[in-house]
Structure 1
Amino acid sequence: MTPTVHVIGAGLAGLAAAVRLTEAGRRVVVHEQAPQAGGRCRSFHDATLGRSIDNGSHMVLSGNRALLDYARRTGGGEALEEVRPAAFPFLDLRDGAAWTLRPGGLWLFDPARRVPGSRPLDYLAALRTLTAGKDHSVADLLPPDGRLFGPLWRPLAVSALNGPVERISARLFGAVLRETLLRGEAACRPVLAPRGLSAAFVDPALARLRAAGAAVHLGSRVDGLTFSGDRVTGLSAGGSAVALGPADGVIVAAPAWAAERLVPGLTAPPPGAAIVNLHVRLDGPVRLPGGLPFLGLVGGTAEWLFARDDLLSVTVSDADALAALPAEEAAATLWAEIAPHLGQDQRLGGPIRPFRLVKERRATPDQSPESVARRPGPRTRWRNLTLAGDWTETGLPATLEAAIRSGNRAAEAALSSGNNPIRRSGLFPAFTSFRHRPIWTDGGAVLARPGPEGQSKKRG
């Protein structure tokens, strides 16, 4: 009989693990406590706005190889578009100054592609994070009096690691730079999901799993695991006991606090700061300064602004103070900061339009050096139990990329346990590169849809 692997959690880590297992020919059963899959990466219909919105906006880059490979293999790549060449428009909310960062090639020697007033040598300070010690914070290595700290390093670090620069790990921030800016323009291109996160990363994976015969149980809480010796021998899901066969396994891909409830003695990082997302429905499509569907913000409360047709989304990381406010007050605070900068012709003055404020109070694990040291690897002392999640040790901040990598590694660990070694030469192919065909241009940038090697499709 084909071994069965039970995956607890249908966030991106659990979905990635389940997809890998079905590709390897395993029977898979997914248990998700929530009524929908996707975890913190999903879309939902909001009745107030009359629109489908993402529970949180995520900046995906072309250097996120595991995430894009997952999207390609599940069929979600058709719902992604890439900005080409890489471009990142920024706006200083204090004085209205605007610029566009255009990394790649000899960009450091072109003042028009750098932060205004910066010098090439200023950027070399970030190299310190590549050799950061395990106890270093970002502020330890990139001091606040640096020329680029306010307009670049601080907003990037806070949004990537969801915490104050005085606390978050410099080593993790160095990993972000190593996999994006330091790999050149081809690794820095923003990748957008104009139809929403679920259309790119959740719905195609669910369809692929079901087509492969996997069972996906939504609204099914796993209450506990049964252990005997060095194995998990059963689980309780939805009030029913499930016995595991001698070759069956379990992957716990739940959030850290849920995993600690299920796995005895597990040490995991505590929750980090809240992330707040404000979604506003405008009277019509909005054009952001810089001409792209996203905008980095400096000198205010938020870090990023996203536009999708008539929907404007604002993202605030390290947002415990903002999350403590009533929704109306928090929304008014953000609206007052951004509305004056969106152009007189767009008539965005006055009271805020219909909005939805989403507060994610446990959006990520804490990513201080002390908490990073608490991250477990995929294997446990039970030979048929592995762990997945952006809170496990991946060498990256808690991002979509980290979640996918953790799911892949948990699947590999599950398949290599017992008498089922992985054949790395064929089971898990190397990351596939993408070629792109332009489908939309604006402001000198191109939006292209990532597709399998040698393929691309125009939007009809």
Structure 2
Amino acid sequence: MSVHVIGAGLSGLAAACQLTELGHHVVVFESANFAGGRARSYFDKHLDCRIDNGNHLILSGNISTLSYLHRIGARRSLIGPNEPIFPFCNIENGENWTLRLNQGSFPWWVFFRSRRVPGTGLMHYKALLKLRSAGKAENIASALGGTVNGPLYHKLLKPLAIAALNTMPEKAAAQPLKTVLSETLERGGYASLPRWARLGLSETFIDPALEWLRARGAEIRLGERVTELTPGQATVLAVPPWVAAELLPGLTVPTEFESICNLHFKYSMDPGEAGFWGLIGGLAEWVFVRNGIVSVTISAANRYLEIDTDVIAQRVWAELAKAFSLSPELPLYRVLWEKRATMVTSPAQITRRPGTRTTNPNVVLAGDWTDTGLPATIEGAIRSGNAAAMALIRPTDDTPEPNQPRRV
């Protein structure tokens, strides 16, 4: 079968790889002159080095992501600590701590004060049980109830929720966070090892996939925009939701979006024990250190859209300098805004996420905005691409739901 994959982001590439491995001829169309979408690297002339257009933390429980990297021969391109550790720094008071999970599935780490979130006791972690029973209409803050006033929420669950869902917890749906936690933290440290791209997003997720596909006869057509679907042609539509709605009139898609702001500072900084930190009490949520670049991510960034980018850079660097005893002089920097980075992960918007199949039996959908059960993450994007490929080649079968990963 010949299949057109429209969109060369991670969901489209995942679908293309799945279909190619199963023996189908794939043609990938991408309107931009590069592949990768929101997960790519490029050379920045101002900083005189390669940077990523965003920061992405992978966990060892992201089975679809690891399977994808194994397929294209790039699994060893990830780096991270040997233990499931998550360092945090409170910008406001200088408090530092490290969440230290144990490798096994039984969470004995919660019995040790030195391993858990400061100020928390065993009873605080019952909040995770509240998320398990959250309904579809509940947001994170309401599902957790009185827990939102405690240290576990402010020091761990809130920054985790903002980063994973790219939506403030007061608005974010609880169910996607429940899925994230059930596949990682609740399975123990073996499923929570933090990983990220050693060289860059393109070098890990994109370039090896393009090389893998081309070596197996797939066609990659960059700079070719598809404005209408070919009748009868098997197609994976792996484009942003607003583009999918144009190509498939009547399709229900998310309509509200959140931005992400990433800042890259050219500065050599001690990477610490893990190579990254979670940040509390400042503008940003996470900071990564590698190759002479300090990269900072501000998620759910619509709240800061009115602030000038230079002002944001100055404020963020002042916070970093204070927290990590860095030079107060602002180094060279680049501020990258992704205005429609993800859908708003609210209860109202997740009801607008379409499934993999469409009313056209020849067209299936892929994208982190489809109904994967996960928030809009790399894991969700890849899982949606896999599900789209299987739905296309098995149009009458009960295709496994995309939020059911297979172990590799």
Q: Return the TM-score normalized by structure 1.
A: 0.84
Task: Give me the whole-angstrom Cα distance separating, in 2, the residues matched to 1:416 and 1:152.
Answer: 42
Tell me if structure 2 keeps the 8 A contact 1:163–1:272. Answer: no
User: Which residue does the alignment assign to 2:269?
Assistant: 286
Task: Give me the whole-angstrom Cα distance separating, in 2, the residues matched to 1:310 and 1:208.
Answer: 30
Shift of 1:272: 1.9
The alignment of Structure 1 onto Structure 2 pairs a total of residues equal to 398
Task: Give me the whole-angstrom Cα distance separating, in 2, the residues matched to 1:321 and 1:121.
Answer: 33
Deviates more, 1:163-172 or 1:332-341: 332-341
Tell me if structure 1 keeps the 8 A contact 2:262–2:337. Answer: yes
User: Which residue does the alignment assign to 2:207?
Assistant: 203
From 88, 97, 100, the counterpart of 2:98 = 100
From 174, 179, 190, the counterpart of 1:175 = 179
SS of the residue 2:228 aligns to: strand
From 390, 395, 418, the counterpart of 2:373 = 395
SS of the residue 1:223 aligns to: coil
Letter of the 2:131 partner, please give it. T
Task: Give me the whole-angstrom Cα distance separating, in 2, the residues matched to 1:325 and 1:210.
Answer: 44
User: Which residue does the alignment assign to 2:220?
Assistant: 216
User: Which residue does the alignment assign to 2:157?
Assistant: 153
Shift of 1:83: 2.0
Letter of the 2:32 partner, please give it. A
Tell me if structure 1 keeps the 8 A contact 2:64–2:406. Answer: no
Identity across the alignment (%): 45
For the pair shown, which has the larger CA radius of gyration, 1 or 2? 1
Tell me if structure 2 keeps the 8 A contact 1:415–1:422. Answer: no
Shift of 1:103: 1.5
1:349 correspondence with 2:338: no
Tell me if structure 1 keeps the 8 A contact 2:80–2:274. Answer: no
User: Which residue does the alignment assign to 1:383?
Assistant: 361
Tell me if structure 2 keeps the 8 A contact 1:323–1:330. Answer: no
Task: Give me the whole-angstrom Cα distance separating, in 2, the residues matched to 1:41 and 1:123.
Answer: 33
* 1:13-43 alpha-carbon deviations (Å, 9 max, x no partner): 0000000000011010000111111111111
Extract unaligned runs of 5+ from structure 1. 227-231, 234-243, 433-460
Letter of the 1:334 partner, please give it. V
User: Which residue does the alignment assign to 1:358?
Assistant: 336
CA RMSD of aligned residues (A): 1.6
1:67 correspondence with 2:65: yes
Where in structure 1 do 4 or more consecutive aligned residues deviate above 3 Å?
Answer: 421-424
Extract unaligned runs of 5+ from structure 2. none
From 238, 249, 272, the counterpart of 1:253 = 238
Shift of 1:130: 1.3
SS of the residue 1:274 aligns to: strand
Letter of the 2:269 partner, please give it. V
Q: Return the TM-score normalized by structure 2.
A: 0.94
User: Which residue does the alignment assign to 1:35?
Assistant: 33
Shift of 1:430: 4.8
Deviates more, 1:140-149 or 1:15-24: 140-149
Q: 1:309 to 1:35 in 2, by over 3 A?
A: same
From 310, 315, 333, the counterpart of 1:328 = 310
Tell me if structure 1 keeps the 8 A contact 2:279–2:285. Answer: yes
Tell me if structure 2 keeps the 8 A contact 1:412–1:422. Answer: no
